[in-house]
Chain A
Amino acid sequence: MRWALLGSVAVLALLASVMLGPAAVPWGELAHSDIVWNLRAPRAVLAFLVGGSLGVAGAGLQALVRNPLADPFLLGLSGGAGLGAVVALALHLSGPWALPLAAFAGALAALGLVYRMGLVGGAALDPRILLLGGVAVGAFTAAITTAIVSLADAAELRNAFLWLWGGLSAASWDSVLLLALYAPVPLAVLMAAARPLDLLALGEEPARYLGADVEAVKRRVYLAASLLTAAAVAVSGVIGFVGLVIPHIARLAWGHHHRALLPAAFIGGGALLAIADTLARTVVAPRELPVGVVTALIGVPVFALLLRRWTIA
């Protein structure tokens, strides 16, 4: 029942985002319109993939650091991606993929730095060290980015922040293909870690007694969730709230078993971002809202409502 409901919401979200848009496309021409096939359809699919990836990454990281505030961007990835994009602009790297690749590289650099900090002194990815390291690396990269933007005289550098908050306007079948080939690997790694993640919720010691290889699980989950997020940033910038709110909503409805929780977070995250993007494109047409604004405007009230029901029950 829950799955049927979630599935139909997702299908409706995808259909709506292909059928609705600021440009008036007659119903009869939907099937063979250039706007539908080359702009709306890839954008809808990309929104779904990115939203789903962020939802799963958020669920994985929340279980890993055992902190309900964990979000895919908490561990310094958005700062790293922003720095990468600004450096690419400052070095005048050209080519249509220069910015996404540089942002991806920046996110990977931040990921590597935080990961290395998490291992300092045999800490073995202590959740507290990861969180502090993530916040510190995020602040540090943001400071460097701001310094570059303030000192450089190229006007376009100031627009790097627009790129970072860009949302899904750069969607094309190319970016869909890229993410569709890339995302299944970290998604599979996270799904395979579903059972050990359930055990990890009990604490590291009990999980170890129950037979989980805690160190390996933490390493795999951290790297897979971060690699998923890095790819999402590269194709769509920093989209907030999906990775924070969706895992909690999924947990309220599906409980704490990651075997069900992770797929639910994927479909739920995908549906939320597809709906949010459709609204972002249509409600103020011909203008467009940043999609992160819409995810927060939908996600937070839904979350507050569920939280209220949850705490009262």
Chain B
Amino acid sequence: MALAHFARRRSPISISPGMGIFIMRRWLLAWLLLAACRPSGRPAGGLTVTDAAGRTVSLAAPARRVVSLLPSFTELLFAMGAGDRLVGRTAWCDYPPAAHAVPSVGDGMPPNVEAVAARHPDLVVLYHSGPNVTAAEQLARLGIPAVLLDLNRLEDLGPAARTLGRLTGREVAAESLAAAMDSLAARPPRPAPPPFTSIVFVVWDNPPIVIGRGSYLHQLAALAGARNVFADVTVPSAQVSLETIAARDPDWIAVLQDSAPPGAPAFATRREWRAVRAVRERRFLLLPGSLFGRPGPRSAEAVRELRARIEGVGGASR
């Protein structure tokens, strides 16, 4: 009970083992909302988009006061030159530095609807998840248009950028951004350089939770020429046994870190983890959470950074 509750509250980067239920719920909700919203009248003129939950969102004019409830959306809005339209962001929105000047409306998990409404937005952008569908409905009842967008994988970036561009009247800038995102998502995996190329992303150590094929991190690794040893796990992340990690023998252990002083993760000193060769050899990739913790306009930079780290720029244990 408590676990499921907190799992749902976690940030989109550390996706929980409860994600299966979460996704099922999401689809059910999406389907119900789709069924409920079908026969909706559209106002003449103005902007109308259908969001990821199948809701019709209509604006009379491009939004001028936007609240973004996901760091990726904040980055996309700034990247298309709509950063000056932002009047609210989450506590996690730390990039670009100009985002810090935008007032925070809390951690956004789930959104504090009152704090969002207090910013008097004319558009709220939310990540498409169960609790956020509820928040979007609440905002809609307050007369505040809210749009739910998927952002789980690199191919979601292009469509999200186009939708945000339309709603903020930045279509041209959004289109070139979206085109760059689309080409990144469509890029074939880079052939692996010969030594040290297999990787595991460890999200949590006890129980061990790793990134699977369903995550954008798996895509980033493939584009950087690294093979995710848990490519057979189809969901974004899953709990696995330590012995599976040891047996699959990755060359690198990638860990996302938010804290400023980077250091080997605490589990590196635990005896049971020493059964994993990469732990014994201290082959950790300590990846900054701001760059790797979300798909966004800087994902190409994340790929280059990962590639550089794997190829040994900056030392073996960095």
Residues of B within 8 A of A171 (CB): 272
CB-based contact B11/A96 at 8 Å: no
Q: Which residue of B lies closest to A94 (CB)?
A: B266
Residues of B within 8 A of A142 (CB): 2
Residues of A within 8 A of B209 (CB): 162
Contact of B258 among A35, A155, A166 (CB under 8 A): A155
The distance in angstroms between the C-alpha atoms of A22 and B241, with both chains bound, is 8
CB-based contact A153/B91 at 8 Å: yes
Question: How far does the Cβ of A16 sit from chain B's closest Cβ, in whole Å?
Answer: 15
Residues of A within 8 A of B240 (CB): 22, 286-288
A95 within 8 Å of B (CB atoms): yes
0/1 per residue, B1-22, Cβ < 8 Å to A?
Answer: 0110011011100101100000
B50 within 8 Å of A (CB atoms): no
Q: Which residue of B lies closest to A152 (CB)?
A: B107
Interface residue stretch chosen among B27-35, B242-250, B295-303? B242-250
Contact of B272 among A38, A98, A149, A153 (CB under 8 A): A38
CB-based contact B107/A286 at 8 Å: no
Those of A1-33 within 8 Å (CB) of chain B = 21-25
CB-based contact A159/B14 at 8 Å: yes
The distance in angstroms between the C-alpha atoms of A217 and B308, with both chains bound, is 66
Question: How far does the Cβ of A76 sit from chain B's closest Cβ, in whole Å?
Answer: 15
Number of interface residues of A (CB under 8 A): 42
Question: How far does the Cβ of A85 sit from chain B's closest Cβ, in whole Å?
Answer: 10
Question: How far does the Cβ of B182 sit from chain A's closest Cβ, in whole Å?
Answer: 30
Q: Which residue of B lies closest to A146 (CB)?
A: B2
Residues of B within 8 A of A162 (CB): 3, 7, 16, 204, 206-207, 209
Given A39-B272, A96-B267, A169-B6 contact (CB < 8 Å):
no
Residues of A within 8 A of B230 (CB): 286
Residues of B within 8 A of A287 (CB): 233, 238-240
CB-based contact B243/A42 at 8 Å: no
The distance in angstroms between the C-alpha atoms of A25 and B241, with both chains bound, is 14
CB-based contact A38/B275 at 8 Å: yes
Given A35-B275, A161-B3, A153-B107 contact (CB < 8 Å):
yes
Question: How far does the Cβ of B278 sit from chain A's closest Cβ, in whole Å?
Answer: 14
A52 within 8 Å of B (CB atoms): no
The distance in angstroms between the C-alpha atoms of A285 and B240, with both chains bound, is 8
B271 within 8 Å of A (CB atoms): yes
The distance in angstroms between the C-alpha atoms of A220 and B304, with both chains bound, is 63
Q: Which residue of B lies closest to A286 (CB)?
A: B244
Residues of A within 8 A of B266 (CB): 94-96, 98
The distance in angstroms between the C-alpha atoms of A7 and B108, with both chains bound, is 54
A40 within 8 Å of B (CB atoms): yes
Residues of A within 8 A of B271 (CB): 38, 96, 172-174
Residues of B within 8 A of A165 (CB): 3
Contact of B246 among A23, A155, A158 (CB under 8 A): A23
Q: Which residue of A lies closest to B267 (CB)?
A: A96
Residues of A within 8 A of B247 (CB): 22-25, 35
Q: Which residue of A lies closest to B275 (CB)?
A: A38
CB-based contact B9/A166 at 8 Å: no
CB-based contact A23/B243 at 8 Å: yes
Question: How far does the Cβ of B222 sit from chain A's closest Cβ, in whole Å?
Answer: 18
CB-based contact A34/B275 at 8 Å: yes
Given A35-B275, A96-B266, A171-B272, A158-B6 contact (CB < 8 Å):
yes
Those of A157-179 within 8 Å (CB) of chain B = 158-159, 161-163, 165-167, 169-174
CB-based contact A149/B207 at 8 Å: no
Q: Which residue of B lies closest to A42 (CB)?
A: B272
The distance in angstroms between the C-alpha atoms of A65 and B289, with both chains bound, is 50
0/1 per residue, B224-262, Cβ < 8 Å to A?
Answer: 000000101100001111111011100000000010000
A281 within 8 Å of B (CB atoms): yes
A290 within 8 Å of B (CB atoms): yes
The distance in angstroms between the C-alpha atoms of A93 and B246, with both chains bound, is 27
CB-based contact B207/A166 at 8 Å: yes
Residues of B within 8 A of A146 (CB): 2
Given A96-B270, A161-B3, A172-B272, A35-B246 contact (CB < 8 Å):
yes
Question: How far does the Cβ of B246 sit from chain A's closest Cβ, in whole Å?
Answer: 5
Question: How far does the Cβ of A292 sit from chain B's closest Cβ, in whole Å?
Answer: 10
0/1 per residue, A91-119, Cβ < 8 Å to B?
Answer: 00011101100000000000000000000
CB-based contact B207/A169 at 8 Å: yes
B274 within 8 Å of A (CB atoms): yes
Question: How far does the Cβ of B264 sit from chain A's closest Cβ, in whole Å?
Answer: 11
Q: Which residue of B lies closest to A153 (CB)?
A: B91
Q: Which residue of B lies closest to A34 (CB)?
A: B275
CB-based contact A22/B243 at 8 Å: yes
Residues of A within 8 A of B206 (CB): 99, 162-163, 166, 169-170
Contact of A34 among B14, B17, B246 (CB under 8 A): B246
Residues of B within 8 A of A21 (CB): 241, 243
Question: How far does the Cβ of A60 sit from chain B's closest Cβ, in whole Å?
Answer: 27
Question: How far does the Cβ of B15 sit from chain A's closest Cβ, in whole Å?
Answer: 12
Determine which residue in B3, B207, B232, B275 has the highest number of CB atoms from chain A within 10 A of its CB, and name it. B207
Q: List 16 A-B contacts (CB under 8 A).
A: A21-B243, A22-B241, A38-B275, A40-B243, A94-B266, A155-B11, A161-B2, A165-B3, A169-B241, A170-B206, A173-B271, A285-B241, A286-B232, A286-B241, A287-B238, A290-B239
**A-B contacts besides A25-B247, A159-B204, 8 pairs, CB < 8 Å:** A23-B246, A24-B247, A35-B275, A95-B266, A98-B266, A158-B6, A159-B14, A169-B272
The 10 A-B residue pairs whose C-beta atoms are closest, nearest first, are: A23-B247, A172-B272, A172-B271, A169-B207, A96-B270, A39-B243, A287-B238, A286-B244, A38-B275, A170-B206
